[in-house]
């Protein structure tokens, strides 16, 4: 099977133009099929503040009311997505910026309002991802750049977690490609001491993950990220790495945390 590299970049990298530039250089240099998936960053919150709208969060998750959906659509699918596309085009990477609504590539279902009404938030059924359409774009030598927006197929856009989009797309394409999934964020990998960037855990297996969780070494936001990663490996994704923007060098093997079953 052909190789496919899927790179997910988080908000803290998007918010730092110098980190982002280096990362885009490296991403553009990847040979073969590749997909970039980006999160949101602080820009949406900044814009909401300028417009006098108070971001609503529950347990670190955004509540997406109608006005918030409008703003994240503008910021994620407009500003961030199209600026990434133009910056990749300047690096001779033939990027095409997409949401899940485009070509119905990533349909979603509005999350049930019980126990918490998250508003216009979409959950993905991986089996419904239009992997043939994504493959069609790749086969035209274009590089999809996905914003974290999906749709319900009935006319409403939905806000969807970028990590979830990354693992879902990786799973959906795993029967067409040998998929390497890279989560790139501001740390050098999963750290045993979050204050010390040299304490990268080189490898995490399902078994050691349980230990790390029970000792509190791995906690909060990293847990759903790793849950997603293990689910993706079980569903056929070949390789998953969590790393920092500097670890991701074109000539070297990627240094970071390798996730394996």
Is 157 near a copy of itself (CB under 8 A)?
yes
Residue 74 makes contact with a copy of itself by CB under 8 A: yes
Is the CB of 81 or the CB of 161 nearer to a copy of itself?
81
Which member of 103, 128, 206, 213 binds a copy of itself (CB under 8 A)? 103
For residue 99, the minimal CB distance to a copy of itself (Å) is 6
Which residues have C-beta within 8 Å of that of residue 68, sequence separation ≥ 6? Answer: 48, 53, 55, 56, 62, 119, 120, 159
Contacts by 105-108, CB closer than 8 A, 24 or more apart: 105/129, 105/130, 105/133, 105/134, 106/130, 106/146, 106/150, 106/160, 106/165, 106/168, 106/169, 107/150, 107/151, 107/152, 107/153, 108/150, 108/151, 108/152, 108/158, 108/160
| Helix, strand, or coil (residue 80) | helix
Least distance in Å: CB of 75 to a copy of itself? 6
Contact between residue 125 and residue 150 where contact means Cβ atoms under 8 Å apart: no
By the rule CB under 8 A, 86 interacts with a copy of itself: yes
Binding status of residue 37 toward a copy of itself by CB under 8 A = no
Considering the rule CB under 8 A, would residue 75 count as an interface residue with a copy of itself? yes
What's the closest the beta carbon of residue 91 comes to a copy of itself, in angstroms?
A: 8
149 binds a copy of itself (CB under 8 A): yes
Q: Does 156 bind a copy of itself (CB under 8 A)?
A: yes
Stretch that binds a copy of itself, among 4-12, 148-156, 176-184, 189-197 (CB under 8 A): 148-156
SS3 category, 244: coil
**Listed ranges 10-18, 30-38, 100-108, 207-215: which one lies at the site for a copy of itself (CB under 8 A):** 100-108
68 in contact with a copy of itself (CB under 8 A): no
Instruction: Specify the residue for token string 């910021």.
Output: 75
Question: CA 16 to CA 257: how far, in whole Å?
Answer: 22
Q: Closest CB to a copy of itself among 10 and 100? A: 100
How far is the C-alpha of 17 from the C-alpha of 250, rounded, in Å? 19
Check binding of 113 to a copy of itself (CB under 8 A).
Answer: no
Contact between residue 133 and residue 172 where contact means Cβ atoms under 8 Å apart: no
Task: Compute the least distance from the CB of residue 35 to a copy of itself, in Å.
Answer: 14
Of positions 12, 15, 16, 96, contacts a copy of itself by CB under 8 A: 96
Binding interface with a copy of itself (CB under 8 A): 50-51, 70, 73-79, 81-83, 85-87, 89-90, 94-99, 101-104, 133, 136-137, 140, 142, 149, 151-157
């Amino acid at each position: 099977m052909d190789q496919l590299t899927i790179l997910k970049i988080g908000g803290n990298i998007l918010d730092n133009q110098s980190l982002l530039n280096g990362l885009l250089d490296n991403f553009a240099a990847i040979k073969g099929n590749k997909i970039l998936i980006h999160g949101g960053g602080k820009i949406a919150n900044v814009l909401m503040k300028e417009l006098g709208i108070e971001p609503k969060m529950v347990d670190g998750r955004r509540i997406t009311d109608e006005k918030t959906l409008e703003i994240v659509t503008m910021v994620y699918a407009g500003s961030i997505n199209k600026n990434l596309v133009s910056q990749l085009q300047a690096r001779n990477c033939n990027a095409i910026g997409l949401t899940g609504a485009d070509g119905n590539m990533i349909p979603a279902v509005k999350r049930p309002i019980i126990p918490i009404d998250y508003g216009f938030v979409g959950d993905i059924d991986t089996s419904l991802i239009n992997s043939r359409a994504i493959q069609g774009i790749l086969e035209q030598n274009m590089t999809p750049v996905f914003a974290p927006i999906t749709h319900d197929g009935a006319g409403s856009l939905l806000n969807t977690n970028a990590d979830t989009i990354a693992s879902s797309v990786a799973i959906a394409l795993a029967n067409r490609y040998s998929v390497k999934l890279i989560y790139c964020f501001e740390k050098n990998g999963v750290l045993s001491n979050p204050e010390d960037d040299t304490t990268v855990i080189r490898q995490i297996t399902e078994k050691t993950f349980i230990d790390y969780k029970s000792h509190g070494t791995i906690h909060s936001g990293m847990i759903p990220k790793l849950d997603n990663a293990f689910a993706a490996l079980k569903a056929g994704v070949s390789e998953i790495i969590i790393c920092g923007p500097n670890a991701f060098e074109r000539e070297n093997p990627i240094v970071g945390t390798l996730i394996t079953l």
